[in-house]
Amino acid sequence: MSSSGVESPDSLVEDLVEVSRSLGADPRLVLAGGGNTSLKLDRADVTGQPLRILLVKGSGQDLAGVDRHGFAPLRLDRLRALLPVADRLDDAALANELRCASVDAGAPDASVESLVHAVLPHACVLHSHADAVLTLTHAPDGADRIRRALGPRTLVVDYAQPGPALAAACASAWTQHGDDETEAVVVLDHGIFALGATPREAFERHTRLVAAAETAVAAAPSRHQVTPVEVPPVAPEVVADLRRRLSAAAGRPLVLRRSADDEVRAFLADPQLLAAAANGVLTPDHVIWTKPAPLVGSDLEAYAEGYRAYVERNAARTGRDVEPLDAAPRVVLDPALGLVTAGRTAAEAVVTEAIARHTLRAVTDATRLGGYRALPDEHVFDLEYWPLQQAKLRRSVPAGPLAGQVAVVSGAASGIGRACAAELLAQGAAVVGWDLSASVATTFDGPGWLGLQVDVTDAEAVRAALAAGVDAFGGLDVLVVAAGIFPSAAPIGVMTQETWRKVMAVNVDSVALLYGLAHPLLAAAPRGGSVVVIASKNVPAPGPGAAAYSASKAALTQLSRVAALEWANDGIRVNLVHPDAVFDTGLWTPELLAARAEHYGLSVEDYKRRNLLHAEVTSADVGRLVAAMAGDVFARTTGAQVPVDGGNERVI
């Protein structure tokens, strides 16, 4: 604040960033990158001429992490001059005008709701999709409920599509009913725009008004308590088959998340709530994540027919050609399965689950208020098939050749297994990592990673880990067998039977168990399953002192070759890699490397390159080959054994 008591523009911008992050951090207010905020400021241009600027959140920016560079500075007079003609501009022309209104060529594209922020006269506007506000608007007589709960200083506007139509609706309502005492605008089925002279004042009003909406929701009569239905244990194969069918309907592999906690089971136990859930989205803004409504039950074909009819009906209404999106639901509510959400990536499935859970709570609360009102088809369709939304979907096509696929990697906490997991993640797969070490839980982070502590020789632990992976991601496309042990070198006559059995148990027996359990999941993979086995150079070229290891890897190779023969009809590929001299793993300590290099009369660096290509082989090299074998490059290959060793004379 300046010495005159008036806050400086810089401090106001700092406050805008702070309150924006506060809104974005609260999932009751903002989900999936929604909401937007703005501030009107006076600036001077490079010539010294005064400018009135609208600083508005950039399109695609997440409020929870936005900084001052995430806002677009627009000429306010230009935006207001556009209002009378904006509805005559197509989306491309409007986007161009917004870009031309910017005073910073390096700023992000402005939110399409910039026009609404320009219409409202207050210096600061904060917009959210607060659950409680939307719940009230979904109940019978929603507009009256909003007026009673939020008071006379809140202006209520009928829903209009974001962009010029909503700006025009807000401008008309403001002209008729707005004044200096107005603290907020609520757009039915869309959200609240809180107003203030400063970001802090707008935030205080937003907080107070949302709390009033929450109080009104909480005051509704309680419903009878429903005992949560007992969802029986679900075989992972059932979820994997649902994923296969959903992916087929979507035309691409989808990642699924399944939940059957108390909240979900209580909802599923109430027929009235289940029926109300079919009434669809909480706000049209959610439709690109959730589709217009969930699939209630398991009749995927009926859902697809209903979706196609919805598209045809509304396309005829608009009179324009529409290329239908896929007809696969993104939310499934099934008493036998619980809540299942789908996305093109694990991150999308997480977002969809969050939206679905907030919608279930709103359905429950609105039902207490008298019923959960469905939104008009046309509002939902117009937003789902809005070219700007379609462009957003196209821009967000998941990167990576393995996007949408699910991998399990054993031995993933270190060494080659970790490198394989890293490469699979980099190529877009969701990865379940197993390891005996508890550190596997935090080996990577993000929604596409699930690290589980697993003893691969424990049958029940393996079953539980497969089931947990299916609940997290929906199925199994890629299985990487990387867990293994290499005992201390010992001649056959010295090696103990205990060592022999332990090596065989980990390197062979556990894989035979895993193959039996994983096969049904791999057979349900939307594009066919793939197994990649980390074998060893010791298979074609064993060395002295490594009888147990060499024999176990040879047995593993034969086991996998048989799997390739047996599983080909199920569309499952099984291929092997034979690494050698991969020195960046925990097995090779600096002391051991130095000792081996000295034994051969070489420097450590020369010892690492003691192969025909004189190339160091790293765990990352192995990881890249494994990911290639899991992908389309090896789509027509099974039963292959590929060395990754820089060239070994004995192998060749």
Residues catalogued as catalytic: 549
E strands in 417-568: 430-435, 449-453, 478-481, 530-534
In contact, 244 and 475? CB cutoff 8 Å? yes
What are the DSSP calls for 585-623, one per residue? Answer: STTS-HHHHHHHHHHTT--HHHHHT-STT---B-HHHHH
Can you tell me the distance from the alpha carbon of 352 to that of 83, in angstroms, rounded to the nearest whole number? 34
Alpha helix locations (H) across 230-386? 236-250, 262-268, 271-277, 287-290, 300-318, 346-368, 377-384
The answer to whether 218 touches 141, Cβ cutoff 8 Å, is: no
CA–CA separation, 55 vs 103, rounded Å? 10
Cα 511 to Cα 517: distance, rounded to the nearest angstrom: 10
d(Cα 254, Cα 474) in Å, to the nearest integer? Answer: 8
DSSP assignment of 175-189 equals HHH--TT--EEEETT
Question: Which distant-in-sequence residues (6+ apart) come within 8 Å of 278 by Cβ?
Answer: 293, 294, 296
H runs (alpha helix) in 25-141: 76-86, 91-100, 114-119, 131-138
Measured CA to CA, the distance from residue 165 to residue 243 in angstroms comes to 39
Cβ contacts of residue 488 below 8 Å, gap of 6+? none
Q: Tokens standing for 482?
A: 């990387």
Question: Using CA atoms, how far apart are residues 520 and 539, in angstroms rounded to an integer?
Answer: 28
Q: State the DSSP code for 64.
A: G
In angstroms, the CA 401 to CA 15 distance is 42
| Spatial distance between the Cα atoms of 564 and 287, rounded to a whole number of angstroms | 42
Query: Which residues does 450 contact at the CB level (< 8 Å), separation at least 6?
Result: 430, 431, 432, 433, 468, 469, 472, 473
Whole-number Å distance between alpha carbons of 485 and 534: 12
**Separation CA 147–CA 152 (nearest Å):** 6
- Alpha carbon distance 527, 481 (integer Å): 20
Closest CA to 360 of 278, 291, 297, 304: 278
Identify the burial level of 66 via C-beta atoms within 10 angstroms of its C-beta, where 0-12 means exposed, 13-18 middle and 19 or more buried. buried
Give the number of other CB atoms < 10 A from CB of residue 455.
Answer: 16
Q: Residue 315, exposed/middle/buried by CB under 10 A (0-12, 13-18, 19+)? A: middle
Give the separation between CA 257 and CA 293, rounded to whole angstroms: 17
459-481: b (≥16 Cβ within 10 Å) or e: eeebeebbbebbbbbbbbbbbbb
* Residue burial 585-596, b: 16+ Cβ < 10 Å; e: rest: beeeeeeeeeeb
Does residue 282 contact residue 289 with C-beta atoms inside 8 Å? no
